[in-house]
Amino acid sequence: MPKITRMTSESLTIIHIKTTLSINEAAIYADRKANQDPRNKCSEIQFLKQKFDNHFLEADKNFMRGDK
């Protein structure tokens, strides 16, 4: 029988980010998370979510692109 482990809210957040962002963005998040101050955790997640949501905006409204 497989061992059932208890999931924390932090591990669920990481799973959610890894499933909703591209592989590269998830890897960047995981890399930064290792050395990150816990007080900055929420702002880091919000930034990645904003970046992911912004990816689907129309080109003239996409502020993440270099050409404005």
Average pLDDT for residues 24-42, to the nearest whole number?
Answer: 57
Domain limits, the chain: 9-61
Residue 34 CA to residue 31 CA, distance in Å, equals: 6
Write down the pLDDT at residue 68. 46
- The CA distance from 18 to 5, in Å, is 19
| pLDDT for residue 48 | 59
Helices vs strands, H then E, count in the chain: 3, 0
Q: What angle do CA 16, 6, 17 make, to 5 degrees?
A: 10
Q: Report, as an integer, the average pLDDT of 59-68.
A: 52
- pTM for the full predicted model: 0.19
| Amino acid 1: pLDDT | 47
pLDDT band at 46 (very low <50, low <70, confident <90, very high): low
Percent of the chain exceeding pLDDT 70 equals 0
